[in-house]
């Protein structure tokens, strides 16, 4: 018979909370770095200057075709061999996430920009709007509406990916649960709790996306 | 009789995309109040010609003079925006702003370019939507309108700036047959009202009904420019003859 004893969660709630905070810290720092870098990559991929377009495209293709876990290993284990200095797990994780997620954010931004038809932009110009008016009232509003749902979806993926920082010993949420489990051997309760917390947080995000997408659908 | 004051003068206009010449020494004059139909096979440079007139496309040789203003001289200055506001344009694929209602599509430029107060712009916008028969659809987004309705919003948008000239770039080619008539009716009304119109179209019925002049283009050149009757009855060139035969007899 399976015995579920939630007291293990209550007794260790401080440790788990600390882990969740670390997960959020990872997520927010990675997002704060990944978004701006993503915007630059996206604009780079739209550039007509070859010396910008090709390096940026090569970077994006390379990173997107490598597993994130691989990237974390490189930065945590291989980089110190090359540079001679140690890399803190937190920084190794954050840098990996930024490098990795920025390529996805960049492609979303590029797609959003390209989804605005050239004809619509010409129509705006044909009425006498100048570049800034066209960008403000036409290009950016249309592109943003199309981009925001995918951006939030990708952020949810990033939030889940933070658990990979476990492998380099960072005390984030999953790692915390595992450490407690080593002591009390209550995997069902601990990992069940972790799963529920992830489920709740990500579901909230998905609901926001769904709302935005129905709103966008009504617009069309 | 129409008065013979030139409003658009195109002088030896040539344009290249790389090595490919899209416009080859185009010279013509359009008078105020005239309705000019431009036709010709696809790829003959018709749409490009329109886009050179309002500076949406650059050109390498010659010039376009709109009401005394040289496009070549102002094409990379702020003046071009002012000039564009005087030339309305209607597009093949409507190109309405998808995030705005029909009324907002029509009033955006008057509000932002001419700084007309919201209320006034909306009143005028409603009048224009009424004119194209869409008053009751003013608060719908383009996605909720049929192709023909969208194109009529496009025409109202082009009229909203009180432009002197309206250019139509194949306004009916993306429409279902039953919707073409609604759009053409609006255009015929405009032409009869004395609007200066440049219309790229293959609707020869429209041309026969209201055009003052037909320009036939092929491979970037003007092959013929004639009044409507002469063009259909006695086309000078073989290419125009062939084109007329093909367009009048669809099969």
Taking the C-alpha atoms of residue A43 and residue A152, their distance in angstroms, rounded to an integer, is 19
Q: Which of A195, A199, A220, A160 is nearest to A9 (CA)?
A: A195
pLDDT(A128) > 80: yes
Confidence (pLDDT) at A100: 95
Confidence of residue A82 (pLDDT cuts 50, 70, 90): confident
Nearest residue of A to residue B110 by CA position?
A: A127
Confidence of residue B1 (pLDDT cuts 50, 70, 90): very low
pLDDT 10s digits, A2-32: 778 888 889 999 999 999 999 999 999 999 9
Taking the C-alpha atoms of residue B240 and residue B228, their distance in angstroms, rounded to an integer, is 13
Average pLDDT, chain B: 92
Domains in chain A, CATH or no CATH each: 7-219 (1.10.3720.10)
Taking CB atoms and an 8 Å cutoff, what residues of chain B touch A120? 95-98
Are A130 and A158 contacting, i.e. CB atoms less than 8 angstroms apart?
Answer: no
- Distance, CA of B90 to chain centre: 6
Instruction: Look at A123 and B97 and tell me if their CB atoms are within 8 Å.
Output: yes
Interface contact A214, partner B, CB < 8 A: no
B/e letters for B75-100, b = 16+ CB within 10 Å, e = fewer, are beeeebbebbbbbbbbbbbbbbbbbb
pLDDT 10s digits, B187-226: 999 999 999 999 999 898 899 999 999 999 999 999 999 9
Is the Cα dihedral B243, B244, B250, B251 positive or negative?
Answer: negative
A168 DSSP assignment: G
pLDDT 10s digits, B160-174: 999 999 999 999 999
**How many CA atoms lie within 13 Å of A110's alpha carbon, on the beta-carbon side?**
20
Confidence (pLDDT) at B235: 87
Total-model pTM: 0.80
Taking the C-alpha atoms of residue A215 and residue A203, their distance in angstroms, rounded to an integer, is 18
Taking CB atoms and an 8 Å cutoff, what residues of chain B touch A119? 91, 93, 95
Residue B115's CB is within 10 A of a number of other CB atoms, namely 8
Interface contact A220, partner B, CB < 8 A: yes
Confidence (pLDDT) at A220: 47
Instruction: Look at A128 and B82 and tell me if their CB atoms are within 8 Å.
Output: yes
Query: Once rounded to an integer, what is the mean pLDDT over residues A151-179?
Result: 92
Are B165 and B106 contacting, i.e. CB atoms less than 8 angstroms apart?
Answer: no
Confidence (pLDDT) at B250: 57
* Token pair listed for A179: 């450490």
pLDDT 10s digits, B17-32: 999 999 999 999 999 9
Interface contact A122, partner B, CB < 8 A: yes
Confidence (pLDDT) at B129: 96
B147-159 and A118-126 helices cross at what angle (nearest 10)? 30
Three-class SS of B10-45: EEEEEEEECCEEEEEEEEEEEECCCEEEEECCCCCC
Alpha helix segments (H runs only) across B75-146: 79-84, 102-113, 118-131
Where do we find the tokens 């799963």?
A195
Query: Once rounded to an integer, what is the mean pLDDT over residues A47-51?
Result: 90
Query: Once rounded to an integer, what is the mean pLDDT over residues B9-16?
Result: 96
Instruction: Look at B85 and A127 and tell me if their CB atoms are within 8 Å.
Output: yes
Confidence of residue B249 (pLDDT cuts 50, 70, 90): low
Taking CB atoms and an 8 Å cutoff, what residues of chain B touch A145? 99
* Token pair listed for A9: 């969660």
**Chain B residues 189-228 with a CB less than 8 Å from chain A:** none
Q: What residues pair up with B65 in beta bridges, in sequence order?
A: B9, B70
- Distance, CA of B33 to chain centre: 14
Q: What residues pair up with B88 in beta bridges, in sequence order?
A: B166
């Amino acid at each position: 018979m399976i015995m579920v004893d939630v007291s293990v969660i209550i007794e260790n709630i401080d440790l788990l909370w600390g882990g969740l905070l670390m997960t959020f810290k990872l997520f927010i720092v990675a997002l704060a770095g990944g978004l701006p870098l993503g915007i630059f990559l996206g604009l780079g991929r739209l550039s007509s200057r070859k010396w910008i377009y090709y390096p940026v495209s090569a970077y994006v293709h390379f990173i997107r075709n490598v597993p994130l876990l691989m990237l974390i290993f490189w930065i945590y284990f291989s980089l110190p061999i090359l540079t001679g200095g140690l890399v803190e797990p937190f920084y190794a994780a954050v840098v990996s996430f930024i490098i990795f997620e920025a390529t996805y954010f960049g492609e979303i931004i590029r797609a959003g920009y390209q989804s605005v038809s050239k004809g619509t932009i010409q129509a705006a110009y044909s009425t006498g709007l100048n570049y800034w008016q066209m960008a403000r009232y036409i290009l950016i509003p249309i592109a943003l509406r199309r981009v925001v749902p995918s951006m939030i979806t990708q952020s949810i993926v990033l939030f889940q990916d933070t658990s990979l920082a476990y492998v380099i010993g960072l005390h984030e949420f999953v790692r915390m649960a595992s450490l407690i489990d080593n002591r009390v051997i209550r995997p069902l309760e601990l990992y069940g709790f972790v799963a529920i917390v992830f489920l709740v947080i990500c579901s909230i995000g998905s609901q926001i996306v769904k709302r935005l997408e129905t709103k966008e659908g009504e617009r069309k | 009789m129409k008065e013979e004051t030139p409003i658009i003068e195109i002088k030896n206009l040539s344009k290249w995309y790389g090595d490919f010449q899209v416009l080859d020494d185009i010279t013509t004059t359009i008078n105020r109040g005239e309705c000019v139909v431009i036709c010709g096979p696809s790829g003959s440079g018709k749409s490009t010609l329109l886009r050179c007139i309002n500076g949406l496309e650059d050109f390498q040789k010659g010039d376009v003079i709109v009401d005394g203003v040289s496009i070549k001289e102002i094409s990379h200055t702020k003046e071009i925006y002012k000039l564009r506001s005087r030339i309305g344009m209607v597009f093949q694929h409507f190109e309405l702003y998808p995030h705005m209602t029909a009324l907002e599509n029509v009033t955006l430029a008057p509000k932002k370019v001419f700084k007309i107060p919201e209320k006034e712009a909306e009143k005028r916008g409603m009048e224009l939507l009424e004119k194209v028969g869409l008053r009751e659809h003013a608060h719908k987004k383009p996605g909720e309108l049929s192709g023909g309705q969208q194109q009529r919003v496009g025409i109202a948008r082009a009229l909203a700036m009180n432009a002197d000239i309206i250019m139509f770039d194949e306004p009916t080619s993306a429409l279902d047959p039953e919707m073409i008539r609604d759009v053409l009716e609006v255009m015929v009304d405009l032409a009869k009202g004395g609007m200066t119109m440049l219309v790229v179209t293959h609707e020869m019925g429209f041309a026969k009904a209201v055009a003052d002049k037909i320009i036939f283009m092929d491979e970037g050149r003007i092959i013929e420019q004639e009044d409507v009757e002469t063009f259909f009855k006695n086309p000078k060139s073989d290419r125009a003859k062939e084109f007329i035969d093909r367009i009048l007899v669809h099969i």
